[in-house]
Structure 1
Amino acid sequence: MKPIIFPAFLLLLFWTSAFSQNKSSLKLTGKVTDVATGQPVEYASVGITDQLTSKVVNGAVTDSVGHFEIAGLGVGTFTINIDFIGYEKKSVKDVNVGAGGKTLEMGNIALTSSVKTLAEVTVTGQAAIIDNQIDKIVFNAANDVTSQAGVALDVLKKVPQVSVDIDGNVELQGNPNVRFLINGKPSSVFGNSLTDALASIPANQIKSIEAITSPGAKYDAQGTGGIINIILKDNRLQGINGSVNLAAGTRLENGSVNLNFRKNNFGLNAFFSGNKQLSSRTPSSQNRLSTSPTDSTQTRLLQNGFQDFQRSGYRSGIGFDWSLSKKDNLIGAVGYNNFSNSSSGITNISQTLLDPSGFPLSSSEILRNSTSKGGIAAIDWNLNYIKKFGKDGQELNVLYSSSFGKPRNSYYQLQNLTSERLPYAGASGNTPGNDKQTNISIDYSHPIKKGFIFETGVKTVLQNISSVADIRVFKPSLNQYVPDATQSYELGYDMKIYAGYLSTTFSLFHFLNVKAGARFEHTDVKIDFPNTSIPSYNNLVPSLIFSHNFKDEQSLKLAFTRRIERAEYRDINPFMNLSDPYNITTGNPLLKPEIGNNFELGYNKSFKNGGNLYIALIERINTDDVKPYTVLYPTYLIGDSTYVNVSVTNRQNIGIEYNSGVSVSGSMPITDQLNLRGNLMVTQKRVVNELLAGNVTNGTNWRFNLNATYQLPKDLILEGFGNYSSAINTIQGKRPQQLTYNFAFRKQFNHKNASIGFTATNPFTKYISQVSTIRTGNYISTTTVLVPYRSFGVSLTYKFGKLEFKKGKEQGNDFLHSAPSSDN
């Protein structure tokens, strides 16, 4: 534990004690439900009025389970007003708040359906876009009009403490080891290529994104950086409705259709979405100088060429939710995903041998044609049973989810001397496979008393992967590729995880909220590869969060969580990718899991105008830290083939990494029309490389983004967004800086049920130059990649269908109809 943690903890106790002496920390909580069905009422507005002055003193909106919490009330007598469209307004009078600073539990407040029939309903209001909670930050994408175009990658760029680079790599608080979920569940959609998966989820289907930086014991321990949970839109309103979304541009195209149906206590949802990244040419060059350890001669390698890259994919699925009774709910879904990407190009290679004084001894000019492809086709399904009991908050949750995918990867390359027509060398590889995954979990929560909740559960994760590596080498004498039995193989990978957890939430000393828990996971991995054995291992994963709510919507928290980063199959698979025979990548079957110990001290302030501010001090310590590691070999034997002057890169457990940082994020309505949102994160990284006798690498990285939206008359919205990430030292060189920006405007019409938008990304520069360096003991390499990032696009959105608020014929209530509206 770093020294910063101890004074931070003392600061927390001092601050909470001081505030508890002079400010009211009383909280008022409750739950809003439907009187007929017992189901929670989401997004109902809860206002508190002082009965003496008749002034509104505070308010809140119910969450996804109908719960609300209002803090910082003073002494007095109040009236609670609850209101939501389709229900009669309800008031609870004479709520007495006395001194003492404790939580006042209102219990269950039931709303009655309105019996009025309306020709048309228009709902307006300023909804919060960012919500800071004790263990996570929630970005409500459905409330951000300009987020409705594009894909999940575009929305993630706006989430506080999340960064996305131009290649689609995602980091949370500067850590790339992030666990992704959809609606709180694992999905095979992320199995083969995270970037492809995130590029396939339309932004208009996303309700919110949760950046869970301090996951509790209930969550899987996988992901040292934390968890990102993508919550898709659902619809609890009666009737048939849906949406159609189309987007076309110079670089990206996507489209989606979403259809919802609900009658009484049964609902269906079906969707289809497709996307395509149009073929674009990426120029690149490499300048590498290596030194022979035997005779001190040097070899200079120059590679200049291009790759034409494209990506496409589609997703489809159907799901249902069925309220069997007031206490029983059944949810199920099945989906199919298909993603693919490919690149092909030509590279000119110049290789020169130099004596120790730098005089050329020999040289060769080579032309290489190369192609690589990847993708996956997968089907997944899940069934979720939720049982509620007599006590509010007492719940049993049983989830079964499974998937079957067929990942595919291949490469091809052929080389010839520029002075000759016929090729002299080449290789090809094809690795089809099967990926089966099953998750079974049982979770139970039990309220012991007010403010004291106990949770427990068990989970099993089963994964089985099989693949075949069909490797062929080019034979000049035959002028064709022939199978290479020395490189070809069949591989089996089997992982079983058995987990259980205990967690509790309670109040301490009437002002300190505590959430504590521990999770135990046993992991058993078997891999069918020669001379490779992976022992089973156990991990105890504790989590502890202290928090205190102050008056005026302020809170402070101190959190500790331990996380695990198990090696993914693609990191373990020893398949040699020879699409560039001078720079080979492969897997490492002997990777050990990385362990992350994360500390966070955070302060949150919410403002009455809808703005908020969050400041956090972050410390992350990773042991058995996993990093890509490159080694240069003068000669390297693969099967019967010998490669000369080749670098081999795989992932290694390099030692310990320390990350100390500060994160500042906020959203502020400057005027009724102008809103600003920004994120700043500065991280000091220190890596102790035990592969190089404890060599230490230090580096400072800072990231900043700013989003500005301006509401013009006639439902026209303008937006500007910029993102910058500085360069940073790595254990073997330097990672490049990045600067991206985009402009957009969106026009809504037809009662906001339709819209048209235009976007421009990096409109003033065609390419983003990425310069990376790698240094080892015997060589230095500089690689420059020009990424074609400039693009222009147009998007169309249309929402259709009638929405009906009703209680069902068996209860004798009339129907409340509304005009076409949103599907969220």
Structure 2
Amino acid sequence: MGAAGIPPQNNQINFMMLKGTFFLLLYLCTVTARAQQQTVISGQVADSITRKPVEYATVVLMQPDKKTVAHVLADDRGGFSFSGVAYGAYQVGITMLGYAPRVIDTFHIDSFHTTHRLGVRYLSKASQQLSGITVTGQRPMIEMKDDKLIYNVENDIDKDNTTASEILRKVPMITVDADGTIKLKGQTNYKVLLNGRSTSMIASNPKEALKAFPASIIRHIEIITEPSAKYDAEGIGGIINIVTQKHIVGYNGSIYTNYNTLGPASAGASLSARLNKVGVSGYIGGSNYHNRSSNASRRESFLPGNKNVLEQTTESRSNGRSGYGNLEFSYDIDSTNSLTLYGSINKSHGSGASPQYNQLYDSTGTLSQTGHFSSNTNNEGNGFSIGLDYQKKFRKPDHDLSFIINSSNSSNNGLTDNAQQNIPGTDSFYRNSNYNKNRESTIQLDYNLPLPGGQKLEAGAKAVFRQIESSYAQLIRNSDGTMIVNPSRSNVFNYTQNVLAFYTTYRFQLGKKTSMRLGARLEQTYSSGAFISDHTSIGTTYLNLIPTLNITRQFKALNSIVFSYSRRLQRPWVYNLNPYVNDNDPNNIYFGNPALKPSFTNSFGLYYNCMLHKTSLNIGTDFSYSNNTIQSVISIDSLKAITSTTYDNIGHLVNGGINVSMRSPLTDKWNINTNLRANYYSISSDGSKGLHNSGAGLNGYFSTDYTVGKGFRADAFCYFNTSTPSLQGSSSSNIGYGFTVRKELLHKKASLSISADQPFRQQRAVTSETRDASFYRTVTSYSPANAYSISFSWRFGKLTSNATRKKAIDNSDH
């Protein structure tokens, strides 16, 4: 039986039905597009004194209540036009830097007046702004829109001297520990997107990628904790979408660089420009690192007949570098049709050495063996992605059709040389190699149809094709010095996962201030894997129905409360499935489990967002429960006393939390920012072990900034994370703090920042505990704590504007 109770023999029938529905939806959307009657509004913009055309002015088509319908840019002769406009009453607003904005009085488009020529409209020099279509301005730091909570990074004064990982500490429902591990609602299973798309740069290692990604090029961060049916069901915790692109008039860009005394250094640049109907944006950057750390572990075995204690100390040194780039071209075919072509590339290289010293004591406490183990690693990663988006807008506002196709590829090649000396015992040398290659292609169709009375219908289809190849081998040195293959540690694992999905959502009003959105998503998953050396294979097919619910109550413009529900899906990924045995530390080995199955989580959330005078406040509570979750399982071999870590579907998880985020100006020069989360976590396992663990935790981030004057500003922050439980143990609490002094330069176009991170603390220690009936293990990791950094950023541009020329395609569901 499939996961949803559908017999396997019906899979082929289900697939044919899904394909038929996909093409039927595409046909209906095309018919709808052709059925639209063309209407045209046109005019020209000119200078009131010189009577010459004003090039590239922003022209906004609005309803009489100032609700925006569409934006266009005037051409090099000042001309503009809107086509495919719905019947109704309209106004037109015109803005241009250096000119006073102008609004054209209300006019009507109907069956008798399908064309409206506005003629030449003159702008005069002035500095006042136009209510309703302001060119510049600042949004609140935190906003809530339907199922999204938005943190506007572009308004954060710390963005020029921090990374994405550091800025995430301020975002509601997100916690970041001292090691940079990011959790969403206390969960580590979530999706991270860049501009609504999955990229190889972030997908391969989100934690490390966001540590190197500069916050200065981020526009805002979207948090979607209970995604609607429009989004992929995958990601138990939800979705983190980092948005960088910004539509402008003219051009702007930035250059940034940072150096840290602990070793990390980064630099990069970004640029966005637009001329007539063509826009281009991109960024490029790179970083390197030099890390050093150590750890001490103690494992006590309670196995009958093999009781012992193993003590290990390890010193680690690692160096690496990475680079990334992104480029996007957009073209407005006309006021209703647009194309966007985009691509990205990333490359990384790292190496490290980890000498380890072992001492093994028998049941009487006598030292029975000592050993020295050294491990030298080299890793190289590469990735690129490319895609094309098409959007068609119809006459009615919010009536649109989008088609998206993209593909990404990534690879990682790892090589580790291991040498071991044991007294008593024999010396050994072996080499582990592991090559992984991931390919992913996506085709997606989305259709939005507004209906009378505030109703809205969404429908769409998506197909995702994934191919993963893992080739791993172990070479062992013989007594004569030759290297031979170890067949038990060598194989090629090919894995394919294809997902075909359809969704629909329906939104309607429950009174003037309350709306409800119901949704359903149907996903058919086909997965198969094959081991080349022994000719074995695995495979599974399952059909899942994913319901969603969202209720929003709007009190005032920035005051709202949202209740949401979503069923989420966790599919096993290649690192969970890959049976490759990582025995770089022969006393602690790791491997995947090809027999893993998907698991489901039911997630509920209640969130309140408001503005109290100048204070932005967000309060939220969430609850989720899961069965059969994928959990890491640690056990000890009864004969060899080796600790092994793998994955299994054994977890019953209950997770709940309360989040409070606040930003408040105490004075015109002094601001404070608070982000607190209290979390409760309970997990138990199936099977003979009968494991259970639970606990509550508190995470907090506090920051304050004060404007001294003459371009100087001082910042301070601190954060803390209490102990976190897991299925077989827990990790210790940690705390951090820091200070920054910033000076604005070049007429506020540039800034120079000097920061101190934990200046009064030499070392950071984090301890984790793991246990079951057969063993108890503690691991304490040590790393340098205090660091000093210097950052410089410079922004440049001309004719910048935050007026959006078109509705951006939201493909955050991947």
TM-score (normalizing by structure 2) = 0.82
Partner of 1:626: 630
SS at match of 2:354: strand
Tell me: CA distance 1:462–1:678, structure 2 relative to 1, closer, same or farther (3 Å).
same
Partner of 1:762: 758
Tell me: CA distance 1:585–1:288, structure 2 relative to 1, closer, same or farther (3 Å).
same
Partner of 1:198: 210
Q: Deviations over 1:479-530 (max 9, x none)?
A: 4542212321111111100001001221113342112111111111111135
Tell me: CA distance 1:348–1:326, structure 2 relative to 1, closer, same or farther (3 Å).
same
1:614 aligned residue (612, 615, 618): 618
Q: CA contact under 8 A between 2:404 and 2:443: conserved in structure 1?
A: yes
The reply to whether residue 325 of structure 1 matches residue 334 of structure 2 is yes
2:400 aligned residue (392, 395, 399): 395
Tell me: CA distance 1:62–1:721, structure 2 relative to 1, closer, same or farther (3 Å).
farther
| CA apart distance, 1:201 | 2.2
Tell me: CA distance 1:583–1:88, structure 2 relative to 1, closer, same or farther (3 Å).
same
SS at match of 1:691: coil
Q: CA contact under 8 A between 2:504 and 2:519: conserved in structure 1?
A: yes
Partner of 2:539: 534
Q: CA contact under 8 A between 1:685 and 1:700: conserved in structure 2?
A: yes
Tell me: CA distance 1:274–1:552, structure 2 relative to 1, closer, same or farther (3 Å).
closer
- Which stretches in structure 1 are left out of the alignment for 5+ residues? 1-32, 49-59, 67-78, 95-107, 636-643, 808-824
The reply to whether residue 428 of structure 1 matches residue 431 of structure 2 is yes
Tell me: CA distance 1:557–1:35, structure 2 relative to 1, closer, same or farther (3 Å).
farther
Partner of 1:179: 191
Q: CA contact under 8 A between 2:691 and 2:772: conserved in structure 1?
A: no
Q: Deviations over 1:318-372 (max 9, x none)?
A: 2111111000111111221112333312111111212xxx352x51111111123
Structure 1 residues 378-777: aligned runs within 5 Å: 378-417=383-422, 424-475=427-478, 477-529=479-531, 531-551=536-556, 553-609=558-614, 611-635=615-639, 644-692=640-688, 694-777=690-773
How far apart, CA to CA, are the structure 1 residues paired with 2:303 and 2:420? 24
Corresponding pairs, count = 717
Q: Deviations over 1:684-737 (max 9, x none)?
A: 212121134654322111111112122221222222121111102322111221
| CA apart distance, 1:756 | 0.7
1:137 aligned residue (125, 149, 154): 149
Tell me: CA distance 1:242–1:129, structure 2 relative to 1, closer, same or farther (3 Å).
same
How far apart, CA to CA, are the structure 2 residues paired with 1:554 and 1:159? 18
Q: CA contact under 8 A between 1:86 and 1:114: conserved in structure 2?
A: no
Tell me: CA distance 1:658–1:380, structure 2 relative to 1, closer, same or farther (3 Å).
same
Tell me: CA distance 1:806–1:137, structure 2 relative to 1, closer, same or farther (3 Å).
closer
1:128 aligned residue (119, 140, 153): 140
Q: Deviations over 1:280-301 (max 9, x none)?
A: 32011111111233x2x42111
How far apart, CA to CA, are the structure 2 residues paired with 1:437 and 1:664? 38
The amino acid of 2:292's aligned partner reads: R
How far apart, CA to CA, are the structure 2 residues paired with 1:195 and 1:712? 35
How far apart, CA to CA, are the structure 2 residues paired with 1:210 and 1:174? 17
Tell me: CA distance 1:779–1:410, structure 2 relative to 1, closer, same or farther (3 Å).
same
Partner of 1:286: 297
SS at match of 1:221: coil
Tell me: CA distance 1:149–1:692, structure 2 relative to 1, closer, same or farther (3 Å).
farther
How far apart, CA to CA, are the structure 1 residues paired with 2:518 and 2:94? 33
| CA apart distance, 1:233 | 3.3
| CA apart distance, 1:405 | 1.9
Partner of 1:348: 357
SS at match of 2:335: coil
How far apart, CA to CA, are the structure 2 residues paired with 1:383 and 1:303? 52
| CA apart distance, 1:585 | 1.0
Q: CA contact under 8 A between 1:87 and 1:112: conserved in structure 2?
A: no
Q: Deviations over 1:20-52 (max 9, x none)?
A: xxxxxxxxxxxxx99879x9979999999xxxx
Relative to structure 2, which stretch is displaced further, 726-735 or 194-203?
194-203
| CA apart distance, 1:62 | 8.0
| CA apart distance, 1:548 | 0.9
The amino acid of 1:788's aligned partner reads: P
Q: Deviations over 1:184-212 (max 9, x none)?
A: 11212223222232234222111111111
Tell me: CA distance 1:720–1:446, structure 2 relative to 1, closer, same or farther (3 Å).
same
Tell me: CA distance 1:307–1:744, structure 2 relative to 1, closer, same or farther (3 Å).
same
| Structure 1 vs Structure 2 CA RMSD | 3.4
Partner of 2:308: 299
Partner of 1:269: 281
The reply to whether residue 228 of structure 1 matches residue 240 of structure 2 is yes
How far apart, CA to CA, are the structure 1 residues paired with 2:299 and 2:434? 30
Q: CA contact under 8 A between 1:43 and 1:61: conserved in structure 2?
A: no
Tell me: CA distance 1:132–1:82, structure 2 relative to 1, closer, same or farther (3 Å).
farther
SS at match of 1:196: helix
Partner of 1:152: 164
SS at match of 2:487: coil
- Which stretches in structure 2 are left out of the alignment for 5+ residues? 1-40, 46-55, 73-90, 107-115, 804-814
Relative to structure 2, which stretch is displaced further, 517-526 or 403-412?
403-412
The reply to whether residue 337 of structure 1 matches residue 337 of structure 2 is no
Q: CA contact under 8 A between 1:216 and 1:543: conserved in structure 2?
A: yes
Partner of 1:8: none
Q: CA contact under 8 A between 2:281 and 2:327: conserved in structure 1?
A: yes
How far apart, CA to CA, are the structure 1 residues paired with 2:190 and 2:121? 43
Tell me: CA distance 1:219–1:359, structure 2 relative to 1, closer, same or farther (3 Å).
closer
Relative to structure 2, which stretch is displaced further, 84-93 or 481-490?
84-93
Q: Deviations over 1:615-673 (max 9, x none)?
A: 222111112112211010033xxxxxxxx211110122123101122111121111111
Q: CA contact under 8 A between 1:169 and 1:195: conserved in structure 2?
A: yes
How far apart, CA to CA, are the structure 2 residues paired with 1:407 and 1:112? 59
How far apart, CA to CA, are the structure 1 residues paired with 2:374 and 2:468? 31
Q: CA contact under 8 A between 1:46 and 1:82: conserved in structure 2?
A: no
How far apart, CA to CA, are the structure 2 residues paired with 1:166 and 1:543? 35
How far apart, CA to CA, are the structure 2 residues paired with 1:46 and 1:242? 33
SS at match of 1:431: strand
Partner of 2:791: 795
SS at match of 2:355: strand
How far apart, CA to CA, are the structure 2 residues paired with 1:376 and 1:700? 38
Tell me: CA distance 1:271–1:601, structure 2 relative to 1, closer, same or farther (3 Å).
closer
Structure 1 residues 803-814: aligned runs within 5 Å: 803=799
How far apart, CA to CA, are the structure 2 residues paired with 1:41 and 1:774? 61
Q: CA contact under 8 A between 2:329 and 2:340: conserved in structure 1?
A: yes
Q: CA contact under 8 A between 1:197 and 1:339: conserved in structure 2?
A: no
Partner of 1:26: none
How far apart, CA to CA, are the structure 2 residues paired with 1:352 and 1:779? 14
Relative to structure 2, which stretch is displaced further, 455-464 or 122-131?
122-131
Tell me: CA distance 1:789–1:460, structure 2 relative to 1, closer, same or farther (3 Å).
farther
How far apart, CA to CA, are the structure 1 residues paired with 2:725 and 2:371? 33
How far apart, CA to CA, are the structure 2 residues paired with 1:488 and 1:571? 18
| CA apart distance, 1:588 | 1.3
How far apart, CA to CA, are the structure 1 residues paired with 2:522 and 2:218? 32
Q: Deviations over 1:158-182 (max 9, x none)?
A: 2111112233321111111110111
How far apart, CA to CA, are the structure 1 residues paired with 2:95 and 2:247? 19
